[in-house]
């Protein structure tokens, strides 16, 4: 069964510093990986996805993610954090069972950017 793990419940970073939010995956085939962000009392907003191709994926709001097959990781990164980046971040993998393409989410990582 497909799964993702987000080992950190919370990441703290100072504004202007680089940030990394970690995600590891376990899949039976080629992984389709996603990052979403959730602000308080809001739905999820799509940031970026990896399907195939370049291991470095660029997304919205200056975020990027690095796909590493040998380490089965898909970490989210940003060179310079903003206070407005403070939110809950979810990594997800597309499920291969059936034809639904449903997403399987991690438990989320709360990013806190201090001014």
Partner 1 sequence: DTGVSQDPRHKITKRGQNVTFRCDPISEHNRLYWYRQTLGQGPEFLTYFQNEAQLEKSRLLSDRFSAERPKGSFSTLEIQRTEQGDSAMYLCATAGPGTDTQYFGPGTRLTVL
Query: Which residues in this chain contact partner 1 in the complex, by CB under 8 A?
Result: 32, 34, 36, 41-46, 49, 51, 90, 92, 94-95, 98-108
For residues 13 and 90, which CB has a smaller minimum distance to partner 1 in the complex? 90
* CB 33, min distance to partner 1, A: 10
Instruction: Report yes or no: 63 and 47 within 8 Å, Cβ to Cβ.
Output: yes
Instruction: Please check whether residue 33 is in contact with residue 67, taking contact to mean a CB–CB distance below 8 angstroms.
Output: yes
51/56 with CB nearer partner 1? 51
Contact residues for 29 (Cβ-Cβ < 8 A; gap 6+): 96
Q: State which residue, 80 or 101, has the beta carbon closest to partner 1.
A: 101
Cα distances from 27 to residues 16, 22, 31, 90, 94, in angstroms, run: 35, 17, 6, 17, 9
CB 23 within 8 A of CB 91: yes
Q: Output the smallest distance, CB 68 to partner 1, in A.
A: 20
Minimum CB separation of residue 32 from partner 1 in Å reads: 6
Q: How far is the CB of 115 from partner 1 (least distance, A)?
A: 26
Closest to partner 1 by CB, 15 vs 64, is 64
């Amino acid at each position: 069964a497909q799964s993702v793990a987000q080992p950190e419940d919370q990441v703290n970073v100072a504004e202007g510093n680089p940030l990394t939010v970690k995600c590891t995956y376990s899949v039976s085939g080629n992984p389709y990986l996603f990052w979403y962000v959730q602000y308080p009392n809001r739905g999820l907003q799509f940031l970026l996805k990896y399907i195939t191709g370049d291991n470095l994926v660029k997304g919205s709001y200056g975020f990027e993610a690095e796909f590493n097959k040998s380490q089965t990781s898909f970490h989210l990164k940003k060179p310079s954090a903003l206070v407005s980046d403070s939110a809950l971040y979810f990594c997800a993998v597309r499920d291969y069972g059936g034809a639904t393409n449903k997403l399987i989410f991690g438990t989320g990582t709360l990013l806190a950017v201090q001014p």
